[in-house]
Structures are given as C-alpha cells and as structure tokens.
C-alpha cells in the first residue's frame, strides 16, 4: 500500500477534490514503507518496520484555512476528511499572510531519487548487514552500537488551481560507533544513500573500528586556537544540529529583513550581495544532482531548481515563504533540501599530508546555538580526534569543547577536500585555521 | 507529534475501559498462544492541541489524535514488538502474533535471555493527573485571546517581535499484561511559552528573552495566576519565579523590558565566579549532568551510537568517588504533583515511586526498568519505562530528577549577601554536554552581576563551563523548601528511532563556588 503509482495517487486526489465545496482545496498524499535495526554491545537490540500512507486536505474559504488528515481511502472516509477540513476552515481566523494556492507548475525530473535496490530491502537484508558489523567487531574484540534505517516513499499533490505533482524517493542511512572494551577508544562512521546497492556496512564498521583502535590512550592538549581538519561528518549531521546545517537553515529572508539574523544589516535590510566568506566558498542546491537526488518540489508545491546560495564567498540568495517573497518583491525561493558545498580534489589523506600541525576531527556533537546574532555555536569533538604533525597522524588527543561560528570558520579557510555525501548533503572536508577550542573533555 | 487532525470537540471523547479490556485480553491470549511467557499491550489515544501566534495574528491551531495499539511479547527470553492502528480484535490479535514472531526471530541471534524482574498484577485500576480544568474543555478562543494579550503586553513594553504558543497534551493510556494488570490512565500536560525580540536598528543588535514558564503536569489552571505561587527573585533583578501557577501577561511585559535591557548590558569579564542559580535555570543543569548519566541503559552502552554512554559506570560507582559535595541529595520520582513525570503506573505496569540517586554527595542508585534490575543485583523496577506513542516500543526513560532543598532556613537574598564576586542566572539558555556527561556549557535567559553581597546590574554574553563532578563538588549552599520549583521539558530525546519524553526537575536556588565563566560575544 505504501508506494502508490502516480495514477493510483492522482486518482485518489482527484476524488478528494471532487468532494470539495471550498474556494480553494489542495490534497497531498504521503506514503512511506521501510524498516530499521539497531545494535548495541555487539548484539541486535531492537528492530521495527513502518508502513503508512496519509492524506492531508487543506480547504480554504477566503483567507480562512483548515487542514484535516486521514489514513483510510474509501469514499466515505475521504468525504469525511474533506468535510472536516472545511469545518475547521470556517472556524479559523483569517490569515493575514494568505497567498492563493499555486497553479500548474513545471518540475524537473530527478529519477535517481528512487532506487529499487532500497525499496526492495527485506528484514533479512538488514539483519545480514548488521551481522557483518557484529562479526567484524567481535573478531577485533571491540564493541559496536549501530543503527540502520531505510525507507521508500512517494509524495503526490494536486489542487483545484491545476497544480499536479508526484515523485518517489528512497533513503538508507547507517551509523556505527565502535568502542574498545576498556572504554579508552571510540570511532564513528556514517553514510547515507538513495541507492542501497552502494551500501556496505562492513567497510563502514572497519573505518569506525580502525578509529576506535587508533584513539586509545589519548593525550591532552591545551585548549586554544588550532588548525583543524573537519571531516564531512563534523560539518553536517543526520540526527543532531551541525555547523553548516545551522548556517543554511538561517538563510531565511524574513528573519534577515526583520533584523533578527546574522544576515540582518545595520539600519535595516539584509546582506544579500555582500561577501561574508572566503572566496573559495560556493554553496548551491540541486535536487537533480545524481549523488543527492531529492524531491523537485517543496512542501507547498513550489518547484525546487538549481539555486546558488553563496558564490565565491558572496551571499547570492535567501529563501523565503511565498507571502514574504510577494510582500518584498524578491525571488520566490523555497528552502533547499540537501545542499552542495564545492570543494577540491584532495582526499582526506592528502589534506593530512599537507598539514604541518593540526587536529583531525571525526565528528562534532551536541551542537547548540549560543548567540543567534553571530551564529556562535558550542559543542564537542567525539569518536576520533587526532593530532597531526608533519603530515602524519601523530597520536590521539582528548576531546575538546568548541565555541565557534560557521561564519568565522568559513573566513578562516585553509583548504577544501573532495566532497562526500552526509545526511543528504555533499560537503568537502575543510581545513580551518584558528578554530576555537575552549575546554577539555574527559569523555571518550 | 504525529496523529490525525481532528476537531477540538473530538479531544473530549474517551473510550470505554470495558471495551479496552476485551481487546487487551484478546491480544494477551494471542501472544500466549504464540508462545509468549510474558506479554503486555498498550492501547493508546494521544491527543494534542497546539496554538501558535505572532504579534497580533494567529498563525496556526492544530488538534490531533493518534490512536492505536502496541504489543510486546517475551518468547524464549527475547523481546518482540509490533503495533497497529487497526484497533479491532482482528487487528490487535495480528499485532500480538507479529510481536511473538519478531521475538522468535530475534531469539536466534540473542546471546543472553531477557531477565524480567517479578511484578505483581494490580487488577483493574486507574489513575488521572489531578487537574482542576481540562485544557481541552477551554474554548480555543479563550486560549487565542490569552496569547494575543500576552503579545500585546510585550509589544506595549518595547518588543519588536513576539511569538507565543500553547501546547496541550492528553495521553489516554490503557495498559494490560499477563501479570494481571489492567491500568487505565488519563495523563495531562500543558506548556505556555513565548519568545520576545527587541531590535536596535541603529546598531543592528538584537536580543531575545523566552518565557519563564515551565511545561507542567497540570491542566489549564496553570494559566490562572495566583499570588501564593509567585516568588520574587533577588532584590534589584525584577525576576519573578512561578510555582504551580503562571502569570503569562506579567512575564511577557517583563520579558520585553529585560530583552531591551540586554541590548546595553555590560559584557561579562571572563573568569571564576560564584554562581547563584535559580530553579528555572538549574533544572536543565540537573537534567543534563545528573539525569542522563544515571540512566542505566546509557551506563551499560545501549545508547553508545546516539545519545552516548556515561562516566558514572558500575565500576566508577563501586569506587565510591563523590558525585558532589555533602549537600547534594538528588532524588528520582514519578509522584510529585504538577510534574511531567507524575503517573500512577509506568508503561510496563509498575507502580511509580520515589528513590534516591545521590545521597550526601554519593551516587547510590540508577534509573532502571524490569529487564535491567538484575544487572545491578536488584529485585524490582523503578517504574520509569515509557513509550512516546502506541507505535513506539517502551524503554527506560528519565523520571523526575530533583535536587532536595536545603534543610536549614535560607532565602535567595540571604544567599546572595554572602557572595563576594558572583553571577545570578535565571532561565534556561544554550546547553551542551559531552556524550559521557563530563564537560558541559550552559547559558541562561538573564544574568546579573553580584558584587560584595549585592546585585550590581544586568550583564550579558555569559556561559559557564564545568566538569560534572567538579561542579556538583562546588555546591556550597541550597535555599530551603519555600523556594522549591520545577523546570521541565516536553522533548527529551533518546533512542533510535528517536522518541521524546516529558520530565520535570525540582530544585531551590543553589550556590556553586568558583565556576569558570566565558564571554560569548563575537564579531562577524
């Protein structure tokens, strides 16, 4: 049931719209099927499966809007759902930010967002991938904890102004933490894909295991400003805040125009067009990119297209709601799904080779905002932090707390490596000078 | 939270316990027939209503219902869990069979069988949050009017922008197990909040202050101010503390004034300070530095890949090292009225209780559930098992973790009189702690310098960094019971896939000596 074809989905949506008596009506179907398996202490700890399709109906009378949902699709249920949305709309206050629903739209094709290899995953496949990690860690007398989650789904949308959208997408995300039995070493690896045929849990387990073994008996360095090489997993993250993720999600035009963003300008207005970063910083989004193929329409039906957010250090675009774009007369850009930061060709190993003194950071953790004005964030290094000297990893070091702003960090850029996919984004490892560590942590 | 959108009137409906018992028995019988030595079933109806406003307009009003069943089965020493939104006898029996089948599959890779602490059945019992006014019975217009009135107060007092929200939750949970328990519970929670921002266009500087309200295990009565529930903060701060009732209009006006004052407040000089921490701030520090490290599943490594582990391992505890100074007594409970943790029974049918975690500065116990008790040589669960939905598997979650108040009479003003160089902090701000809970950094909502026993004005850009044991070791004085208040959260996250839970932390204003304070101002 979870993945309806385009015709199946649009037929349900057409029926929904035929029941509507509202001025405007938009219906959205979302379906997901998938599963997960989790391990800890070298054993599977939990596993589960998910299979769900839900319909959301938005009805509007003038500037009043109501939304209702259901997850059964017989005529009587669909009719009730539409009626409920209309009842709620009639009771709702007028929305001063009202904009009419979108009419017909052209969407790009992004066929690689869906892979049958992922849609066809079975519980046995998940167990086998996990078993491979358990076996490797048992052989090396290390302890692992990991999580594998996969999903296949679709989104279909239709309204009475002529908008019609449909796309399928798949995702597989895996992460593993490997620890030494004495608790003095810990390593981490993560990866995510549209296409599960690229996934090999054992090789990621090996990376995490190698880091765990290498990170034993860490030495303490004094807190202060250091040159760091931040691996992609230290810049963006799946299940926690991240430095680059936080910066991208702060690129909203309205907050900037209202004066409460790092992009607000003294005296009013925003910093679009200003050079805020090192000229090697270019960040764009492209939902058709083969490595991070994504939905080509946003939740409100706006098309997602290739959009440059930062070019050669200059802020090129801010995203906004449709209401704010119309009010301000600015480009109507929805927020991106994943983003791509351009990098170089160097591998991580080559970047290490080119470093006289520095610190290699596998992962940053528990990142929280300290000051929204400067985008200052705090957090800690975790699961593999190493001292580099004369182009080589010299020894593991104890974890640090940092207080740093991605804006300052992207001005202190030394080098960019080859981008890798993390959490649906493509991000290069970055070498940064004067990264601010403010205290030591005993955590391993 | 997920769920199906409904009309507000549907939030007042309930389901007959006799029907739930019949369905639950069908599930338990099906699980037993499929080989389960133990099974439990949770029929859950999770209701939420959220109201959002900004300045003079309503942004969104959402009412949702999520209804379904989760069945857990123990077969040959392995757990299996399955859930369904088909709350019919056929649907629930199928879920029970699925749970047993998953248990059998997991048993093949299981090394150690699950050992479940014995639990007596309670028969047919019920429990309800002792609320005075069900928030779902209050007309939506009354809630909207309150939020818009709070916004107006903030705007009248100099706010450039204000967002406000009201979150209301009702968990109607029916639990039954093969131990012979049939437990019907009606749990209520509420959280009013706002964010006020003041902008100085000339300098481009902006500052915000959030509400001093806490999420509470109360009904709509929390929003009816009562003089006896207000506590004036230290002289010279204007800070107001709230116990079991909250004055949203008063706080919104104060927030605007304080946000404005923050624009010109002096930037802190980094260094060592004695900190005087209000309960509206200290609750979060307790949560992160005592609540999480004493969760037994973290201690054992079950959260290693996400939330992390703990410094407070079984070996560490055995060494008898101090967790804090002798003044530090931390208690766990799921009983205190008005708290988010308060329920009659947990999500595996264990009656809730109170127990010591830290006594006279020593770690004496952990937080544990039925399949963990044997690991630490104990015979019973602490009753802190929870699932955030019928579709989530229940696991160990943090109960209320609270600092016991000082036994000697001590007011906040008297505490400050003895501080030579310090900072008074109220409200939760930025927070971050490492994955084993050693090193943390906390901000706050408002900061005041203390010089020679007196409040010496508002300061800004403050964050303190400490190590958990050193911090609690520096605990030098705790105000008495009359200052005791709760700070809670609706969204404590843990597990993969992630689950949230709601928890409160009680404390009185407390002094910590010689804590490292950094300055967080930067130029970009």
* Domain span holding position A135: 6-211
Q: Which residues of A touch B434 (CB under 8 A)?
A: 365-366, 380, 382, 399, 401, 441, 443
Q: Which residues of A touch B199 (CB under 8 A)?
A: 258-260
**Residues A273-305: pLDDT tens digits?**
999 999 999 999 999 999 999 999 999 999 999
Biggest CA pair distance of chain B: 74
Question: Using CB atoms and an 8 Å cut-off, which of residues 15-54 of chain A contact chain B?
Answer: 36, 38, 40-41, 43-48, 54
- Domain with residue A138: its CATH number is 3.30.2290.10
**Residues A340-382: pLDDT tens digits?**
999 999 999 999 999 999 999 999 999 999 999 999 999 999 9
A441 contacts chain B (CB < 8 A): yes
Name the domain count of chain A: 3
Question: How buried is residue B1: exposed, middle or buried, by Cβ count under 10 Å (0-12/13-18/19+)?
Answer: middle
**Residues B310-355: pLDDT tens digits?**
999 999 999 999 999 999 999 999 999 999 999 999 999 999 999 9
Q: How many beta carbons lie within 10 A of that of residue A61, not counting itself?
A: 16
Instruction: Flag whether A282 is in a domain.
Output: yes
Looking at residue A15, its pLDDT comes to: 98
% of chain A with per-residue pLDDT over 90? 89
- A340 half-sphere exposure, CB direction, 13 A CA radius: 19
Provide the pLDDT confidence category of residue B12 given band limits of 50, 70 and 90. Answer: confident
CA nearest to B58, candidates B147, B138, B155: B147
Instruction: Flag whether A206 is in a domain.
Output: yes
CA nearest to A190, candidates A203, A181, A182: A203
**B358-381 b/e (C-beta count within 10 Å ≥ 16 → b):** bbebbbebbbbbbbbbeeeeeeeb
Instruction: Flag whether A380 is in a domain.
Output: yes
% of chain A with per-residue pLDDT over 70? 100
How many pairs of residues across A and B have Cβ atoms under 8 Å apart? 193
Residue ending a domain, choose from A299, A334, A369: A334
CA nearest to A96, candidates B57, B164, B162, B165: B57
The residue count for chain A: 444
Structural domains for chain B: 4-126+167-187 (3.30.2290.10), 271-519 (no CATH)
Chain B residue with minimum CA distance to A67: B5
Looking at residue A72, its pLDDT comes to: 81
Provide the pLDDT confidence category of residue A127 given band limits of 50, 70 and 90. Answer: confident
Instruction: Flag whether A32 is in a domain.
Output: yes
Looking at residue B293, its pLDDT comes to: 98
- How far is Cα B325 from Cα B474, in angstroms, rounded to an integer? 7
The string of DSSP letters for B172-236 reads EEEEEETTSEEEEEEEEEEEEEEEEEEEETTTTEEEEEE-----BB--GGGGS--GGGEEE-STT
Between residues A50 and B205, the one the model is more confident about: B205
Same domain as A224, residue A161? no
Average pLDDT over residues B44-73: 91
Residue A20's contacts (CB-CB under 8 Å, 6 or more residues apart) are A57, A59, A82, A86, A160
Looking at residue B212, its pLDDT comes to: 98
The string of DSSP letters for A245-287 reads HHHHHT-BHHHHHHT-STTBPTTSSB-TT-B-S-TT--EEE-T
Q: Supply A106's token pair.
A: 């052209």
**Residues B431-466: pLDDT tens digits?**
999 999 999 999 999 999 999 999 999 999 999 999
- How far is Cα B286 from Cα B331, in angstroms, rounded to an integer? 11
- Taking an 8 Å cut-off on Cβ atoms, the answer to whether A259 and B110 are in contact is no
CA nearest to A218, candidates A194, A169, A183: A183
Looking at residue A238, its pLDDT comes to: 83
Residue ending a domain, choose from A334, A362, A383: A334
Average pLDDT over residues B286-295: 98
Contact A388, A358 (CB under 8 A): yes
Integer Rg of chain B from CA: 24
Average pLDDT over residues B494-499: 93
Instruction: Flag whether A1 is in a domain.
Output: no
The residue count for chain B: 524
Q: Pick from B204, B306, B311: which is nearest to A264 by CB?
A: B204
Looking at residue B1, its pLDDT comes to: 38
Same domain as A235, residue A121? no
The CA distances from residue A49 to A149, B60, B73, B93, in Å, are 9, 32, 16, 17
Question: Using CB atoms and an 8 Å cut-off, which of residues 174-213 of chain B contact chain A?
Answer: 197, 199, 201-206, 208
- How far is Cα A407 from Cα A269, in angstroms, rounded to an integer? 19
Average pLDDT over residues A192-204: 98
Q: Is the pLDDT of residue A1 over 60?
A: no
- How far is Cα A160 from Cα A101, in angstroms, rounded to an integer? 9
Q: Which residues of B touch A145 (CB under 8 A)?
A: 301-305
Average pLDDT over residues B93-104: 91
Question: Using CB atoms and an 8 Å cut-off, which of residues 387-426 of chain A contact chain B?
Answer: 399, 401, 403, 405, 407-408
Provide the pLDDT confidence category of residue B64 given band limits of 50, 70 and 90. Answer: confident
Q: Supply A145's token pair.
A: 């904890």
CA–CA min distance A108, chain B (Å): 30
Q: Is the pLDDT of residue B26 over 80?
A: yes
Same domain as A374, residue A306? no
Looking at residue A45, its pLDDT comes to: 86
H or E segment and range at residue A199: none
Same domain as A227, residue A369? yes
Q: Is the pLDDT of residue B9 over 80?
A: no
Looking at residue B4, its pLDDT comes to: 67
Same domain as A89, residue A113? yes
Between residues A205 and A127, the one the model is more confident about: A205
Integer Rg of chain A from CA: 24
Same domain as A391, residue A328? no
- How far is Cα A168 from Cα A115, in angstroms, rounded to an integer? 9
Looking at residue B491, its pLDDT comes to: 94
Same domain as A131, residue A111? yes
Q: Supply A373's token pair.
A: 């004005």
**Residues A240-284: pLDDT tens digits?**
899 999 999 999 999 999 999 999 999 999 999 999 999 999 999
Q: Is the pLDDT of residue A326 over 90?
A: yes
**Residues A165-188: pLDDT tens digits?**
999 999 999 999 999 999 999 999
Q: Which residues of A touch B431 (CB under 8 A)?
A: 368
Same domain as A85, residue A199? yes
Q: Is the pLDDT of residue A50 over 90?
A: no
β-strand B161-177 against B181-200: which pairing, if any? Answer: antiparallel
Cis ω for the linkage preceding B497 (within 30 of 0): yes
Provide the pLDDT confidence category of residue B3 given band limits of 50, 70 and 90. Answer: low
Same domain as A401, residue A300? no
Instruction: Flag whether A318 is in a domain.
Output: yes
Q: Supply A308's token pair.
A: 């440059």
- How far is Cα B480 from Cα B426, in angstroms, rounded to an integer? 17
A175 contacts chain B (CB < 8 A): yes
Average pLDDT over residues B209-222: 98
Residue ending a domain, choose from A193, A211, A229: A211
CA–CA min distance A332, chain B (Å): 21
Instruction: Flag whether A248 is in a domain.
Output: no
Q: Is the pLDDT of residue A150 over 90?
A: yes
Instruction: Flag whether A29 is in a domain.
Output: yes
Question: Using CB atoms and an 8 Å cut-off, which of residues 53-72 of chain B contact chain A?
Answer: 57-59, 61-62
Q: Which residues of B touch A67 (CB under 8 A)?
A: 5, 62
Contact A383, A177 (CB under 8 A): yes
Same domain as A321, residue A194? no
% of chain B with per-residue pLDDT over 70? 98
Q: Is the pLDDT of residue B403 over 60?
A: yes
Same domain as A278, residue A165? no
Q: Is the pLDDT of residue B208 over 90?
A: yes
Same domain as A168, residue A65? yes
């Amino acid at each position: 049931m979870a993945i309806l074809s385009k015709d199946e989905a649009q037929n349900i949506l057409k029926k929904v719209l035929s029941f509507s008596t509202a001025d405007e009506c938009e219906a959205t179907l979302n379906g997901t099927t998938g599963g997960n398996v989790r391990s800890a202490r070298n054993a599977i700890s939990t596993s589960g499966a998910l299979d769900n399709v839900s319909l959301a109906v938005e009805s509007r009378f003038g500037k009043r809007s109501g939304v209702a949902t259901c997850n059964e699709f017989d005529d009587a249920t669909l009719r009730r759902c539409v009626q409920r949305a209309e009842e709620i709309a009639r009771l709702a206050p007028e929305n001063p930010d009202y904009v009419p629903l979108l009419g017909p739209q052209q969407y790009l094709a992004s066929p690689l967002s869906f892979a049958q290899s992922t849609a066809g995953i079975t519980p046995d496949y998940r167990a086998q991938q996990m078993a491979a990690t358990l076996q490797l860690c048992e052989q090396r007398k290390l302890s692992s904890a990991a999580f594998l989650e996969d999903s296949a789904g679709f989104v279909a949308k239709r309204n009475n102004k002529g908008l019609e959208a449909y796309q399928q997408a798949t995702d597989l995300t895996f992460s593993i933490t490997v620890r030494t039995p004495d608790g003095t070493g810990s390593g981490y690896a993560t990866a995510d894909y549209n296409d599960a045929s690229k996934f090999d849990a054992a090789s990621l387990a090996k990376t995490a295991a190698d880091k765990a073994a290498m990170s034993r008996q860490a030495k303490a360095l004094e807190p202060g400003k250091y040159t760091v090489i931040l691996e992609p997993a230290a810049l963006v993250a799946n299940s926690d805040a991240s430095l680059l993720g936080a910066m991208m999600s702060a690129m909203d035009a309205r907050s900037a125009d209202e004066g409460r963003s790092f992009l607000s300008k003294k005296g009013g207005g925003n910093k679009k067009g200003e050079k805020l970063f090192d000229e090697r910083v270019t960040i764009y989004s492209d939902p058709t990119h083969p490595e991070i193929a994504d939905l080509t329409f946003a939740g409100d039906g706006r098309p997602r297209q290739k959009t440059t957010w930062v070019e050669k250090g200059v802020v090129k675009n801010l995203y906004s709601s449709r209401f704010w774009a119309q009010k301000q007369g600015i480009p109507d850009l929805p927020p991106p799904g994943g983003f791509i930061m351009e990098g170089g060709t160097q591998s991580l190993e080559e970047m290490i080779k080119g470093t006289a003194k520095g610190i290699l950071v596998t992962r940053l953790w528990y990142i929280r905002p300290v000051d929204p004005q400067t985008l200052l964030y705090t957090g800690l290094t975790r699961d593999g932090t190493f001292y580099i000297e004369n182009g080589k990893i010299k020894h593991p070091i104890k974890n640090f707390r940092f207080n740093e702003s991605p804006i300052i960090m992207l001005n202190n850029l030394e080098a960019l490596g080859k981008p890798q996919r993390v959490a649906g984004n493509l991000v290069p490892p970055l070498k940064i000078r004067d990264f601010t560590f403010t205290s030591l942590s005993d955590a391993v | 939270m997920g769920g199906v959108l409904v009309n507000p009137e549907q939030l007042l409906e309930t389901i007959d316990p006799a029907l739930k018992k019949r369905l639950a028995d069908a599930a338990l019988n099906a699980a037993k027939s499929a080989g389960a030595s133990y099974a439990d079933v949770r029929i859950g109806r999770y209701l939420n209503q959220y109201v959002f406003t900004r300045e003079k307009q309503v942004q969104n009003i959402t009412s949702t219902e999520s209804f379904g069943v989760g069945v857990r089965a123990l077969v040959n020493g392995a757990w299996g869990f399955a859930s369904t939104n088909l709350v019919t006898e056929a649907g629930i029996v199928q879920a029970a069979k699925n749970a047993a089948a998953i248990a059998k599959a997991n048993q093949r890779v299981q090394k150690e069988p699950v050992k479940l602490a014995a639990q007596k059945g309670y028969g047919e019992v019920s429990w309800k949050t002792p609320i005075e006014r069900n928030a779902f019975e209050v007309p939506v217009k009354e809630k909207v009017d309150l939020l818009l009135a709070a916004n107006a107060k903030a705007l009248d007092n100099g706010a450039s922008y204000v967002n406000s929200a009201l979150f209301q939750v009702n968990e109607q949970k029916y639990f039954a197990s093969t131990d012979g328990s049939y437990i019907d519970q009606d749990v209520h929670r509420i959280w009013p909040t706002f964010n006020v921002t003041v902008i100085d266009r000339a300098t481009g500087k902006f500052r915000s202050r959030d509400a001093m309200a806490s999420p509470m295990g109360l009904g709509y009565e929390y929003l009816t101010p009562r003089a006896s529930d207000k506590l004036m903060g230290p002289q010279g701060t204007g800070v107001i503390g709230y116990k079991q009732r909250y004055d949203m209009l008063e706080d919104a006006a104060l927030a605007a004034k304080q946000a404005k004052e923050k624009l010109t407040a002096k930037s802190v000089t980094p260094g060592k300070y004695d900190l005087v921490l209000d309960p509206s701030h200290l609750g979060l520090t307790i949560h992160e530095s005592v609540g999480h490290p004493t969760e037994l599943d973290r201690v054992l490594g079950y959260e290693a890949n996400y939330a992390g582990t703990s410094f407070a391992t079984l070996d560490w505890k055995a060494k008898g090292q101090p967790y804090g100074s002798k003044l530090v007594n931390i208690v766990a409970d799921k009983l205190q009225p008005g708290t988010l943790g308060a329920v009659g029974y947990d999500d595996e049918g264990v009656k809730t209780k109170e127990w010591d975690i830290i006594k006279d500065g020593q770690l004496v116990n952990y937080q544990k559930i039925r399949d963990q008790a044997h690991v630490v040589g104990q015979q019973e669960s602490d009753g802190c098992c929870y699932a955030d939905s019928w579709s989530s598997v229940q696991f160990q979650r943090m109960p209320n973790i609270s600092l016991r108040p000082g036994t000697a009479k001590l007011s906040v003003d008297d505490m400050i009189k003895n501080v030579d160089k310090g900072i008074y902090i109220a409200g939760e701000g930025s927070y971050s702690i490492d994955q084993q809970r050693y090193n943390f950094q906390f901000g706050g909502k408002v900061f005041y310098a203390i010089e020679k026993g007196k409040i010496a004005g508002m300061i800004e850009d403050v964050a303190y960094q400490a190590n958990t044991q050193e911090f609690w070791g520096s605990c030098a004085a705790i105000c008495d019971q009359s200052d005791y208040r709760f700070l809670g959260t609706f969204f404590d996250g843990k597990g993969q896939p992630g689950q949230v839970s709601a928890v409160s932390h009680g404390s009185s204003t407390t002094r910590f000596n010689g804590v490292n304070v950094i300055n967080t101002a930067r130029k970009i």
